[in-house]
Chains A and B, each alone.
Chain A
Amino acid sequence: MRRCEHTEGMSLHLDGLLDRVEAAKLQEHLAECEACRHAWEAMCYASALLEAQPRAIPAAGFVERVAAMIAEREAQRARVRSGIGVVLGSLGLWALTGLSVLAAIVLLAQPSWDVAVLDVGLPLLRALASTVETFGTAVVSVLSALSGRSPLPLLGYGVVALAAAALWTRMVLVRWSDGRIAE
């Protein structure tokens, strides 16, 4: 097989990376070696053909297509994130409930502990009931003071509470239907 060490020099020469001495050596060799001269001409021809090639451009609307793809991917990620949130929240609640039940069972199953639980738990429950009663009495007193004997403030309170609940329900429904439309 024919061996010639000048082909790498040819490639560098095409990129203008040979200094004057190296370029002169290459030219000298090309003048002597016919095979290398043909190789050099072919390399120059291929290189010229490549240089003359225009850049391929994407079809019209490429930017819009990419933007739509990204928007779709973002919506998909948001859906996945909210889905994971719901699942995690639900799992967490169930896990906490289960844990609480388990803890209660374990605590109550201990003969020495149920006395302690009852000793601590009953006064706590009593205190909680007393707080709720005090709060309820305060609310009823305020409402009675405001209304005298009229049921209107109580009715107003009820209407405001219902309106707030309806607004919240509407918000949830709108968000849910937006999600469906985006899909």
Chain B
Amino acid sequence: MDQERLWVARALRGDQKAFASLVEIYQTPVYNLCYRMLGNSTEAEDAAQETFLRVYTHLRSYNPERKLSSWVLAVASHYCVDRLRRRRLTWLSLDEEPELEPVSEAAHPEEQMLERESSSEIRGWLQVLPSDHRLVITLRYWQDMSYSEIAEVTGTTESAVKSRLHRARSVLAQQVLEQRELETLPGGAAFEGRKVLNHAAL
């Protein structure tokens, strides 16, 4: 943390090497957030670069009493939400696969294939969520943030975070049940469960 403050102070004096050290630390969380929000590796790379450029340009407005990670992720979140708003009718391919952190070195090819399948499934699910719901899911699962930290990054209250997480999870669970319905006979218990979630997601 002290080292981070030192780098921030040096970056403020125009030391680009110090700023590069900050980029080194935050490149994965920022890129991952952008990738989960935008669902596309090309756009994620572009958004992550733009995030760091904004961080560099607005470093003077950073309040050192705040956690740097929260501030950097807030910049990335705002940029991604803005970009999603501007996207409108442009359809972007979801087929591009980014590099993923290996789960384990000894993973078998079958396991790797399953991993890729579930990764693609997750990306499909996330694209269905509204951007603010997608953001809380990303921060909760991939940044491992608490409700208060998510509230700080998104600029909302903890109760809003709680509500968004609940709705987002309901939508995701609905998709799981829909898929199960397709695999089994429709109209069973999964259908009843989906009705419960459908009400919760509204």
Contact = CB atoms under 8 A, between A and B. Distances in A.
Q: What DSSP secondary structure best describes chain B's contact surface?
A: helix
A54 B174 CA distance: 23
B102 A39 contact: no
A35 B177 contact: no
A41 B52 CA distance: 40
A146 interface: no
Interface in B161-202: 162-163, 165-166, 169-170, 172-177, 180, 189-190, 192-200
B52 to A, nearest CB: 5
In which size bucket is the chain B interface? 35 or more
A57 B100 contact: yes
A43 interface: yes
B195 A11 contact: no
Contacts of A69: 49, 52-53
Interface of B: 16, 19-20, 23-24, 27-29, 31-32, 35-36, 41, 44-45, 48-49, 52-53, 56-57, 98-103, 115, 118-119, 121-122, 125, 137, 140-142, 147, 162-163, 165-166, 169-170, 172-177, 180, 189-190, 192-200
B123 to A, nearest CB: 9
Interface of A: 1-4, 7-8, 10-12, 14-15, 17, 34-39, 41-43, 45-47, 49-59, 62-63, 65-67, 69-71, 73-74
Given A53-B122, A63-B20, A8 B166 contact: yes
A45 B170 contact: no
Contact of B53 (A3, A12, A66): A66
Contact of A38 (B16, B99, B142, B193): B193
